[in-house]
Every structure is written in C-alpha cells, then in structure tokens.
C-alpha cells in the first residue's frame, strides 16, 4: 500500500506514513520500521505543550515522548528490558517503604507523572516523594505550584547516554528533584538477553556540583558482563552493587501540619537509614524475564 501527499503529488514511503500513526492514533505499527530510526526522532512539529500532554494522556504514552521547542521527540522506544528494569527498581523502593505505607509519612509513587517548565515537557520513568508543600508558581512540576519529586529514576535502553545526561540536568536543576538514579542497559538484538548494565546515583546533597555536572554519589556495573566483555558475578547483598538513599534526601521538604498539630518527623524509627536498593535483584529481574523455557 502507498499514499500520496496531495500538496505536491509525491508518494510518501509506507514506513513514514505508519510512523505518523503513533502521533495521530497512538498506534505503534510494526510497518513503521522503528528499528531503522536514529534517536532522537522528531515525531511531530509545531505542537504546543497542551496538545502534547493531551495526546500522551489519551494514548497512555509514558517515558517515550518528550516535548521541546514545539516538537515532539522520541528518545526511547518501548522494550521489555526497559520496562522490566523500571518495574524492578520501583518494587525495590516500594517494598523498602512498606512500614510507612499507612502513616502520615507515606512515600508516594508518582510513576511517570508529566512535568514541564517553560521549554520542555518530560516524564520520569519513575518518581517518588512524601507529602510536600506547594511551591511558588510557575516553578512547580506542572508549570504552576505542584511540588517536584524527591527521587527520580531514569532507565535508558534504546535511549542514548547523551540524552540521559540532559535529563539528569533537567531533574536536578535548582528547586527540583533531590536524588536521581540513572540506569543504562546496552541494547542487544531482538530476543537476546542484555549483558551490560550500568547504574549511577546523583544527589544534590552529595557535594559540590554544577548545572552541567550534578554531584555523583556512586556508579557501578551490574550486568553479567562489563564493558570489556569480562564476566561479572553479582551476588545478593554486595555493597558495591547497591544504591543508598538517605531518609533526609527521600523526605526533603516534608510537609508540616498547621499548629497546634505537632510537627511530622522523618520516620527513622520505622525505616532503615539509608534505604538500600540491591541491584542484584534488578539484574535478576531483567535476565529472568527472558527465561521462558
């Protein structure tokens, strides 16, 4: 099947036509040949942020599209390693916070809630925070007064590390998130098990950083092979493969009740400090997702 562009009577390639389906209809067609694109890919131009947000909500698009300078850009394509990794890290965080689930210090998962500033619209792969007070408009995560998350998780599979670094600067700009976990999984051919996986943890309290270089707490490889192809044997509970989230960071800017209600305290009697995220379980989730025999 082929289609004509009426304005100049030239035939548009089928794969270009089907790529437009994702923006126009929310359909991710195999006929679009997504495996051939170079990221970032411009999906639509001349789009205001309200239309972008309307479509991402209508089509339930999370973590793949971004809005910048009136363009809708694809930075990540849907994939099993990407989604399983997000789910595994989110599970680690939620399970760690179960003791406060029914208290006034509950940690809320905002998943991939949309955020925006004057120049960009973006969603984290996962995000978390306690109850926080409103911020001064228009500095909020919604472009108004909604508070920003304290902990953000970004996972890259098809996404490039260059863009991940841009996202990091977005999240850790002054007055926004407090901690950011970045994971990069090196892509492999369809059906193969990823082998190289890397993690970084950044925290604005970790030291002196700059807008272009936020403070790095830790980084490590946690796949089954490192960058040279040498095998890695990751075991449960090894400190060099964990990320530590301080309760002071997780509860940054905790909302306080109005007097005479007593102040709310960080629940150090209920949660370990710091909370440890063991990436042995993240690696295991990703590799076992491919074990179907």
Contact of 25 with 19, CB cutoff 8 Å: no
Q: What is the mean pLDDT of residues 127-145?
A: 95
80-288: what fold?
A: tt1808, chain A (3.90.1570)
Residues in contact with 199: Cβ distance below 8 Å, sequence separation at least 6, in sequence order:
181, 182, 183, 219, 220, 222, 243, 279, 282
Residue 113 pLDDT > 90, yes or no?
Answer: no
Helix ranges (DSSP H) in 43-146: 49-58, 80-96
Confidence (pLDDT) at 212? 58
Q: What is the mean pLDDT of residues 92-110?
A: 96
5: pLDDT confidence band, cut at 50, 70 and 90? very low
**CA–CA separation, 36 and 48 (whole Å):** 28
Beta bridge partners of residue 67, listed in sequence order: 72, 121
Confidence (pLDDT) at 165? 85
| DSSP per-residue letters across 254-278 | ---PPTTSPPP---TTTS-SSEEEE
Quick: pLDDT tens for 224-274: 999 999 999 999 999 999 999 999 999 999 999 999 999 999 999 999 999
Helix ranges (DSSP H) in the chain: 14-24, 49-58, 80-96, 161-171, 247-250, 279-288
**Percent of the chain, pLDDT > 70?**
94
Quick: pLDDT tens for 158-207: 988 888 888 899 999 999 999 999 999 999 998 899 999 999 999 999 87
**φ, ψ of residue 200 in degrees (nearest 5):** -130, 145
Quick: pLDDT tens for 37-78: 888 899 999 999 999 989 988 888 877 889 998 999 998 888
Own/partner pairs, 125-130, CB within 8 angstroms, 24+ separation? 125/63, 125/82, 125/86, 125/153, 125/154, 125/155, 126/86, 126/89, 126/90, 126/93, 126/152, 126/153, 127/151, 127/152, 127/153, 127/177, 128/93, 128/250, 130/105, 130/106, 130/250, 130/251, 130/254, 130/255
Spell out the domain ranges in the chain. 3-74, 80-288
Confidence (pLDDT) at 188? 93
Confidence (pLDDT) at 163? 84
Beta bridge partners of residue 231, listed in sequence order: 225
Residues in contact with 122: Cβ distance below 8 Å, sequence separation at least 6, in sequence order:
66, 67, 114, 115, 116, 167, 170
The enclosing H or E element of 158 equals none
| pTM: predicted TM-score of the whole model, two decimal places | 0.87
Mean pLDDT computed over every residue of the chain: 90
DSSP 8-state assignment for residue 117: -
Beta bridge partners of residue 129, listed in sequence order: 108
**CA distance readout (Å), 163 to 5, 155, 218:** 33, 11, 20
**CA–CA separation, 144 and 115 (whole Å):** 10
Confidence (pLDDT) at 82? 94
Confidence (pLDDT) at 63? 79
């Amino acid at each position: 099947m082929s289609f004509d562009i009426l304005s100049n009577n030239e035939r548009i390639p089928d794969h270009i036509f089907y790529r437009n389906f994702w923006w126009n209809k929310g359909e991710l067609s195999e006929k679009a040949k997504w495996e051939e694109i170079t990221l970032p890919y411009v999906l639509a131009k001349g789009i205001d942020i309200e239309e972008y947000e309307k479509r991402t909500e209508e089509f339930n698009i999370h973590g793949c599209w971004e809005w910048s300078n009136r363009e809708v850009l694809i930075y990540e394509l849907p994939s099993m390693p990407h989604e399983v990794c997000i789910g595994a890290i989110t599970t680690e965080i939620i399970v760690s916070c179960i003791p406060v689930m029914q208290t006034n210090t509950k940690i809320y998962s905002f998943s991939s809630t949309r955020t925006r500033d004057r120049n960009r619209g973006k969603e984290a792969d996962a995000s978390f925070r306690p109850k926080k007070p409103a911020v001064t408009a228009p500095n909020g995560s919604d472009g108004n007064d909604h508070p920003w998350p304290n902990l953000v998780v970004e996972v890259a599979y098809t996404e490039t590390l260059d863009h991940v670094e841009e996202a990091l600067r977005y999240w850790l700009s002054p007055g926004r998130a407090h901690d950011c976990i970045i994971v990069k999984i090196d892509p492999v051919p369809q059906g193969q098990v990823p082998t190289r996986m890397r993690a970084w943890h950044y925290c604005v309290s970790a030291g002196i950083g700059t807008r272009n270089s936020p403070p790095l707490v830790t980084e490590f490889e946690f796949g089954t092979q490192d960058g040279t192809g040498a095998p890695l044997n990751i075991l449960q509970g090894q400190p060099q493969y964990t990320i530590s989230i301080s309760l002071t960071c997780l509860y940054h800017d905790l909302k306080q009740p109005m007097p005479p209600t007593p102040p709310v305290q960080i629940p150090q009697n209920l949660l370990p400090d710091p909370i440890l995220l063991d990436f042995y379980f993240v690696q295991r989730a990703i590799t076992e997702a491919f074990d179907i025999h």
